[in-house]
Amino acid sequence: MSPPLLWRWIPPLTAPGRIQMAIDRWMLQQLLRGGPPMLRLYRWSAPALSLGRHQQRWPDHWRTAGVELVRRPSGGRAVLHHGELTYALVMQPQLRSREAVYRHCCLWLQHALASAGQPLQFGQAAASTAAQRSSCFATATAADLVAGDGSKRIGSAQLWQGAALLQHGSLLLDPSIELWRRLFGADPPRLAPLPWDAQQLEIELRRAAEHHLCGGALIDQPLSPEEWSAIRALEPGAAVG
């Protein structure tokens, strides 16, 4: 039996949306070139809306709402990145069913939140229903994790290139009610606060990933200057117009 692949851990960082999306694209490129599976957590330096890869329509007022608009490499609907924590992973799953892969790639998130006393289950909404909404968190499909009362805590999306997978998602923490109403005309999901501060949350998520995703310890490896140069080349030339 082959030994398990060693996963690379890119330490958490805070940056604008354009840079964060470029890093995620770069991670998938590296995997396709023979690089290791990777996992990272990150935050956005200013409120931003990431639009799904195929999302062509969104409300006009989003352009003047004072938030950055960026395009995700993955599918799904718009996500407000404010009062949340984002994760991204790249790997080559052995499973081929998309639903089974989502379940495998979200297991660590379920274990982490369960250890905080907040078990999560997968959503039940049809993908066709979700496609009719502008906001990712307006519905919960089999790609998403919800609390017992149906409130959506984590929304995830994928991009496949051959056997290579990029999956990233948003873990809601303390979303702004005012900003949510301004953008989506509705309140954010009502969620119980987690018992951890920001640093402890990252520790708990990493620990859960090592046990339930990576099959062993994550290898710390910050981005090198050469890698940053390659990432900068992947930044979009302009914001979503």
Domain ranges within the chain, ordered by starting residue: 8-232
For residue 192, which amino acid is it? A
For residue 131, the model assigns a pLDDT of 46
Q: What is the pLDDT of residues 114-144, one digit of tens each?
A: 999 999 999 875 554 444 455 667 667 788 9
The CATH class for the domain spanning 8-232 reads alpha beta
Catalytic residue annotation: 136
pLDDT in tens, 104-116: 999 999 999 999 9
Going from the C-alpha of 157 to that of each of 140, 151, 207, the distances in angstroms are 12, 18, 22
Nearest to 109 by CA among 133, 127, 91, 85: 85
User: Which residues of the chain fall short of a pLDDT of 70?
Assistant: 1-4, 125-136, 138-139, 237-241
Question: Distance between CA atoms of 175 and 47, rounded to whole angstroms?
Answer: 11
- Beta strands across the sheet bearing 145-146: 121-122, 145-146, 152-161, 164-172, 84-91, 38-44, 8-15, 219-220
- Cα 147 from Cα 154, distance rounded (Å): 9
Residue 155 near residue 130, CB atoms below 8 Å: no
Give whole-number Cα distances, 109 to 76, 129, 170, in Å. Answer: 19, 24, 11
